[in-house]
Amino acid sequence: MTLRKRTDRLDRPLRDLRISVTDRCNFRCTYCMPKEIFGRGYAFLPRTALLSFEEITRLARLFAGEGVTKVRLTGGEPLLRRDLERLVVMLAGIDGISDIALTTNGAALAAKARTLKDAGLNRVTVSLDALDDETFAVMNDVAFPVARVLDGIQAAAEVGLTPVKVNVVVKRHVNDDAILAMAEHFRHSGHILRFIEYMDVGTTNGWRLDDVVSAEEIRRAIDASWPLEPLGPSYPGEVANRYRYRDDAGEIGLIASVTQPFCGSCTRARLSADGKLHTCLFANRGHDLRNLLRRGATDNELAQHLRSIWTTRADRYSETRTAQTKQAPKIEMSYIGG
């Protein structure tokens, strides 16, 4: 297919599509789905509201026609969506999509890794915020054991879902003392450890700037034990600042959305589980594609709508973050996909 370059008002091309397949999760991470809000009585999306795999694939094919080459499946926890490997097979058959990845909490990864790889999945990113069960339990708030996540990471590596990326959200006075232990554990592993600044996504996680451990603080802490040197981005629009260990023990990434915003190179669109298109992680509204799909819109009509949304996009929340915007309602991360 002929690849288009569809750019927004800030000349950012559309290249990446993140697809949330469910708003449900079996963890209650305090920075994403705090138990006080997402408790037993919380009303998740009904099954009929979710896009079917066929609807997702149709939209992904249209996005590919507008320039998307990379797709990432997210949630909630995407492995809670039944028969997810069937969707992977369908996406892998789309002309122009060259990379299909998955972000997961790792709880079911050991059991699913081989099936997902065989279906056409290329890579996985696993969330793991500490290596000791006590700290990890404080973060995930369901007492899920670290060992089972590590088993998932190992299984993913063994079947070739590599390089496995391991994401750590760092919150001051909660898991910031786990930084060096995480770095030491994943040195020489072949996996890429990435530290993420605690972000003000949504409105329920009690975000405060004082709780943010900056990427620079993290870099200095690791560099003092194992000297680092910077690496260039591995692809245009990469969100992590990359560093390699000088002793060739691998690399780490630092994602500094709060202190070093990267809005200017953002190439991501986000599709929620119920078919709303969001052009920023910090959006307060989405564009309803499900309604168009189910009303019988043609591919041409849908493609024109996608174009009109992206070409008028001007989001740059992290660059313009103020006291007022921090307080404005935003869509929850579990709904939009991280």
Could you tell me the domains of the chain?
A: 16-336 (3.20.20.70)
Q: What is the pLDDT of residue 43?
A: 92
Hey, which bits of 75-152 come out as E strands? 99-104, 123-127
Confidence category of residue 324, pLDDT binned at 50, 70, 90:
very low
Average pLDDT score over residue span 57-68: 97
CA distance 190 to 197: 23
Q: How far is CA 249 from the centre of its chain?
A: 25
- According to DSSP, the β-strands at 228-231 and 192-197 are unpaired
Give the E-state strand segments of the chain in sequence order: 16-20, 70-74, 99-104, 123-127, 165-170, 192-197, 228-231, 241-245, 251-255, 268-271, 276-278, 287-288
Q: 123-127 and 165-170: which strand pairing?
A: parallel
Of 36 and 83, more confident: 83
Cα–Cα distance for residue pair 102/156, rounded to 1 Å: 11
179-199 residue pLDDT tens: 999 999 999 999 999 999 998
Is the distance from CB of 253 to CB of 235 less than 8 angstroms?
no
What is the CA 267 to chain-centroid distance, rounded? 13
Give which of 35, 12, 8 is closest to 205, Cα–Cα.
Answer: 35
Give the mean pLDDT of the chain: 92
Question: Please, what's the b/e burial string for 115-140 (b: 16 or more CB within 10 A of its CB; e: otherwise)?
Answer: ebbebbbbbbbbbbbbbeeebbebbb
Q: Which two tokens stand for residue 270?
A: 């986000």
Contact 246, 229 (CB under 8 A): yes
Separation CA 188–CA 194 (nearest Å): 15
Q: What pLDDT does residue 208 have? A: 83
pLDDT at 136 over 70: yes
Q: Which of 332, 328, 229, 238 is nearest to 278 (CA)?
A: 332
Query: How does pLDDT run across 285-319, given as a tens digit for each residue?
Result: 899 999 999 999 999 999 999 999 999 999 887 77
pLDDT above 60 for 2: no
pLDDT computed for residue 320 by the predictor: 76
**What pLDDT, on the 0 to 100 scale, is given for residue 328?**
61
